[in-house]
Amino acid sequence: MYKVREITAAEAHSVRHPVLREGKPFESAIFPEDTIEDTFHVGVESNGEIVGTVTFIKNSEDVFKEANQYQLRGMAVLQKYQRKGLGELMVKKAESLMLQRGGAFIWLNAREVAVLFYKKIGYEKFGNSFNVPGIGPHFLMYKKM
Ligand SMILES: CC(C)(COP(=O)(O)OP(=O)(O)OC[C@H]1O[C@@H](n2cnc3c(N)ncnc32)[C@H](O)[C@@H]1OP(=O)(O)O)[C@@H](O)C(=O)NCCC(=O)NCCS
């Protein structure tokens, strides 16, 4: 019923926009790194429709000293498909693809409302909350593989 697979940037945008940039221009859901070679996107398909997405970008955060860092971005599941385990499935698949590409460490800026989700799947908070203008409070989180 659900298929977790690598998806294109355009497929990622189709879910990222309504979930993460609702009411904002479609272009606000496009990241400059979306189409560079080291970036990859994982999604969940249900009856031919993409209903969830996450993007991994080869990018280092200076506060961490680990090598081979990836940034997790654009984590989104359409509302009616949330709390069905799909977010967790996508991140697990993306983590294994990242390991195949030589990645070893993942960091992200988590919306405060999503911190419990990331904790459940093995990510830890780093430091205090900070505000992202127009979006709200966030925490830096990370996972060493
Ligand atoms: C955050 C999000 C991606 C999680 O995806 P999901 O498919 O709903 O999450 P899962 O069903 O895989 O959740 C796995 C576990 O994480 C935890 N979890 C998930 N959402 C949670 C929530 N809102 N509150 C508390 N715990 C939560 C639970 O322990 C859950 O397991 P359980 O349902 O068996 O208790 C999704 O809810 C979403 O798109 N939210 C809106 C956009 C957003 O905030 N994205 C994150 C930006 S940083």
Q: What are the boundaries of each domain within the chain?
A: 2-144
- CA of 25 from ligand 1 middle (Å) equals 25
Q: Distance (Å, rounded) from C-alpha 99 to C-alpha 81?
A: 27
Sign of CA dihedral 79, 136, 98, 8: positive
**Strand partners for 6:** 42
- What's the rounded mean pLDDT across residues 18-33? 96
Between the CA of 109 and the centroid of ligand 1 the distance, in Å, is 15
3-state SS assignment for residue 36 = coil
4: nearest Cα among 60, 54, 43, 34? 43
> Ligand 1 in contact with 118 (CB < 6 A)?
no
Determine what percent of the chain is predicted with pLDDT higher than 70: 100
The contacts of residue 111 (CB under 8 Å, 6+ apart) are: 135, 136, 137, 138
Cβ(88) – ligand 1 distance below 6 Å: yes
Amino acid 16: pLDDT: 98
Q: How confident is the model at residue 135 (pLDDT cuts 50, 70, 90)?
A: confident
Q: Which CATH architecture has domain 2-144?
A: 3-Layer(aba) Sandwich (3.40)
Ligand 1 centroid from CA 111, angstroms: 11
Question: Does residue 81 have a pLDDT over 90?
Answer: yes
Confidence of residue 109 (pLDDT cuts 50, 70, 90): very high
Judge if pTM exceeds 0.85: yes
Cβ of 111 closer than 6 Å to ligand 1, yes or no, is: yes
In this structure, the residue with its CA closest to atom 37 of ligand 1 is 82
Three-state secondary-structure class, residue 14:
helix
**pLDDT tens digits, residue range 26-53?**
999 999 999 999 999 999 999 999 999 9
For the chain, where are the alpha helices, taking DSSP H only? 9-20, 86-100, 115-120
